[in-house]
Amino acid sequence: MRARKYFSGLTLALAGLLGISATAALAQESELPDGFEFDGSVVSLWSPEDMRAIDMRADNRMPLMIPPEQILDDSVFMWDSWPLRTWDGEIADIDGWKVLVGLSAERTTEGVPAFYTRSEWRYWFTKDGDWKPGGLVFDPAEAFGSRQWAGSAKYDPETETASFYYTAVGGDPTEAAQQLPASFPQGDPAAGRPPVEQTIAVVETSVEVDDEGVRFTDVDEHREILQADGEIYQTIADATTDEVIYGFRDPWAFEDPDSGDRYMLFTANAGFDPGPQNGVVGVAQEVDGEWVLEMPIVAAPEVSSQLERPHLVWRDDAVYLFWSTHSFTFAEPGSGPEGLYGMVAPSGDWQGQYVPLNRGGLVAGNPTAAPTQTYSYLVLPSGHVMSYLNTAGTPGGEPPLGTWVGAPSPMFQIVMDGATTAIAFDGEPPASAVRPMDPPPPDTTGGGSEDAGDDELTPGQEGSG
């Protein structure tokens, strides 16, 4: 026993020198013999205990977002948006042009429309920050679904083609008979929504550029590539969540940097958990040109029914998984702000295991003063965070706080350090500093942590002004 303890001590000491976590180091001491294994799957948890640890502080509270005098495109309402990217994850640079794709609806004199019933894929392009409208990415009449929700866009510079992965949403939004029951009152998130059965589809186009901008031409036939199977992923017929929360959507396609295989993350509800709080981050793999469902990488039983727009960011020593969550999707009596949440896989394997960032998972929450100012977050490789201005405005000004804006938000940046993150300004953490990766346990004597220096904060401490 003494020899075992001595060997473990040497292992941990060496791990510290090499920057390897203690858990990983001990796990590498020995391996199982071939064939000694059992069937089944392991899925990382966002647990009720994690939810109770959600804590919004200066380093994960978003700044107040003030709309610009001139929004990006005043002819449409915009919400979820994302850049056209290459398969290695970088924003595509096509002869200097960068492309933004997003959900939108034409602005009318009737006021703010039920935008989720009219969503269309449009795009914009720029070389210098002056965004120019490109129009519709594809004809909605030729796409699957009565409307198309969020997804991702990939560019292949070798073939000069783009692939657009989108959520196909069923039901004809113009038919009153297909509106949801009147039991959803005005103001309810589901009020006036047509049916929301969802599948995932893709369409490919050629990409042409010149001095005037970017065009998507030679639009191929749309293909439906994924449906909920009722076993791993819940169908809408079996869903115990309501129609505003159920999901099989938000395809985020990527290429595994180690194997070169192509995968997809998506929002879903677990088929193996009746719910209603049964949100998962789903996975599919492209095999011989066909997409095959796999087990999710994260599940949130008894926490949240909706982990929207999941996506990954790679760092040298870890992989970060991010998603968006509405405040109304949390299981009672738990709660969390509307915002960006996430986990980290310290092993560097995007399939996990994952642990919540900042203990509870909250990466950036809308401030209490403006709880719904932004939504639908996308963390870029640089750490910059995209979102859209939802109910934003100027306190006591024009437009007043709480006004629907429908335009891209100004970006903020996050820094990542192991299992902690912080909102940064010019690439540096704010005054509160990044929380330690392995904070000391809470002090029960009232004396604080002996290891906390003058420049460090222990968990639960706020920085002084």
Q: Report the distance separating Cα 284 and Cα 296, nearest Å.
A: 9
- Find the domain containing 239 and state its range: 58-424
Report how many domains make up the chain.
1
User: Which amino acid makes up residue 172?
Assistant: D
Residues in Cβ contact with 241 at an 8 Å cutoff, skipping those fewer than 6 apart: 269, 275, 276, 278, 305, 306
| Domain CATH code at residue 227 | 2.115.10.20
* 438 within some domain: no
User: Cβ distance 199 to 226 under 8 Å?
Assistant: yes
User: Which amino acid makes up residue 138?
Assistant: F
Taking only the tens place, the pLDDT of each residue in 295-338 is: 999 999 999 999 999 999 999 889 999 999 999 999 999 999 99
Q: Nearest 5°: phi and psi at 448?
A: 80, 175
> Token pair of 327, please?
């405040």
**DSSP string over 151-207:** EEEEEETTTTEEEEEEEEE-S-TT-GGGSPPTTS-TTSTTTT-----EEEEEEEEEE
Q: What is the pLDDT of residue 176?
A: 45
Q: What is the pLDDT of residue 449?
A: 37
Q: What is the pLDDT of residue 404?
A: 81
* 35 within some domain: no
Q: Report the distance separating Cα 177 and Cα 157, nearest Å.
A: 46
Nearest Cα residue to 425 out of 417, 312, 433: 433
User: Which amino acid makes up residue 121?
Assistant: W
> pLDDT under 70 in the chain at which residues?
1-29, 109-117, 171-194, 242-244, 393-399, 401, 425-465
Q: What is the pLDDT of residue 367?
A: 94
* 238 within some domain: yes
**DSSP string over 318-355:** EEEEEEEE-GGGBPTT----SEEEEEEETTS-TT---E
Q: Judging by DSSP bridges, how do beta strands 44-45 and 290-301 pair with one another?
A: parallel
Cβ neighbours, 10 Å, residue 134:
18
Q: How far is CA 327 from CA 80, 189, 213, 400, in A?
A: 18, 12, 39, 22
* 374 within some domain: yes
Q: Report the distance separating Cα 341 and Cα 321, nearest Å.
A: 8
> What predicted TM-score, i.e. pTM, was given to this entire model?
0.84
* 390 within some domain: yes
Q: Report the distance separating Cα 388 and Cα 324, nearest Å.
A: 12
* 413 within some domain: yes
Own/partner long-range contacts of 144-147 (Cβ < 8 Å, ≥24 apart): 144/168, 144/199, 144/201, 144/222, 144/224, 145/169, 145/170, 145/198, 145/199, 145/201, 146/170, 146/171, 146/172, 146/173, 146/194, 147/116, 147/117, 147/118, 147/119, 147/120, 147/173
Q: What is the pLDDT of residue 6?
A: 35
Q: Nearest 5°: phi and psi at 13?
A: -60, -45
* 190 within some domain: yes
Burial track 86-116 (b if 16+ CB lie within 10 A, e otherwise) = ebebebbebeebbbbbbbbbeeeeeeeeebb
* 295 within some domain: yes
Count how many Cα atoms sit within 13 Å of the Cα of residue 53 in the half-sphere of its side chain. 17
Residues in Cβ contact with 141 at an 8 Å cutoff, skipping those fewer than 6 apart: none
